[in-house]
Amino acid sequence: MDIEALLQEVCDGSLSPEAAAERLKRLPYEDIGFAKLDHHRALRSGFGEVVYCSGKTAGQVCAIFERFAAQDSNVLGTRATARQYEEAQKLLPAIEYHAPSGILTYITKPLPQKGLAAVCTGGTSDIPVAEEAARTAEFFGTNVERVFDVGVAGIHRLFDQLGRLRAANCIIAVAGMEGALPGVVAGLVDCPVIALPTSVGYGANFGGLSALLTMLNSCAEGIGVVNIDNGFGAGYLAAQINRLAMRGREEPA
């Protein structure tokens, strides 16, 4: 908020105190009754808009997508149901849906895909969460390399893929059950690893708690952990890190 410039305008008489107060207060979001849409976010981050669809009615999801679409924003919906997609598609035919990961995307001006993030999983059951992460990163302009089913119980599969992992600016390592993959990967690469625990497993996995604790306690360096099954959070963070890595390569510091 460039307060001094605004105050200078008030001082110059080019802006009335009332208008200035109004401008200070009119923060960049819009109220549509049941939700406050945050147009500010896209301005601030240069990314697109995000809608957490879980627990919203199909009608509410549609209304939010429409409002954002009216602003020519790209919109990403997470944890969306098929029913929400069907309703939304009637209003916005260009909307797309990936059922296993529950990702809705509405793209008006595609971002150029830059850099590279890798997404690897321990098993095949982790793929839906991994796809949520991968598609989120792609939505925010990141090239994504998928390296699935390379869990540590058969570690030769992981080694065969190391080259693909090492090419990335950052790696999302997805695992349920024992959750050991991120620690092993972090010991083999020198870029940041985002550890994404899943609730896959049974018994003493306690809905993903086991994998979460493993990742938090990893002895390997360079790991940041996100919530259980939080593919969106991992993908967003990967896109941020990738963007940092690529920004410099394009514009001189």
- Binders of its own copies among residues 228 to 247 (CB under 8 A) are 228-230, 232-233, 236-237, 240-241, 244-247
Q: What are phi and psi of 173, to 5 degrees?
A: -110, 120
Q: How far is residue 69's CA from residue 61's CA, in Å, rounded to a whole number? A: 12
The answer to whether 66 contacts its own copies (rule: CB under 8 A) is no
> Judged by CB under 8 A, which stretch of 32-40, 65-73, 80-88, 91-99 contacts its own copies?
32-40
* DSSP H helices in the chain: 3-12, 17-25, 39-45, 58-70, 82-91, 127-139, 156-160, 162-166, 181-186, 209-216, 231-250
Q: Which is nearer to its own copies, 20 or 107 (CB)?
A: 20
The answer to whether 8 contacts its own copies (rule: CB under 8 A) is yes
The answer to whether 127 contacts its own copies (rule: CB under 8 A) is yes
Residue 230 is encoded by which pair of tokens? Answer: 């939080």
The answer to whether 71 contacts its own copies (rule: CB under 8 A) is no
Smallest distance, its own copies to C-beta of residue 89, A = 22
List the one residue from 24, 82, 91, 99 that touches its own copies (CB under 8 A). 24
The answer to whether 150 contacts its own copies (rule: CB under 8 A) is yes
Judged by CB under 8 A, the chain residues 175 through 194 that form the site for its own copies are: 177-180, 183-184, 186-188, 190-192, 194
Residue 220 DSSP label: S
Residues in the chain: 253
List the one residue from 61, 88, 148, 165 that touches its own copies (CB under 8 A). 148
Q: How far is residue 78's CA from residue 80's CA, in Å, rounded to a whole number? A: 5
The answer to whether 74 contacts its own copies (rule: CB under 8 A) is no
Angle between helices 3-12 and 17-25 (to 10 degrees): 160
The answer to whether 165 contacts its own copies (rule: CB under 8 A) is no
Q: How far is residue 153's CA from residue 123's CA, in Å, rounded to a whole number? A: 10
Q: Which is nearer to its own copies, 95 or 234 (CB)?
A: 234
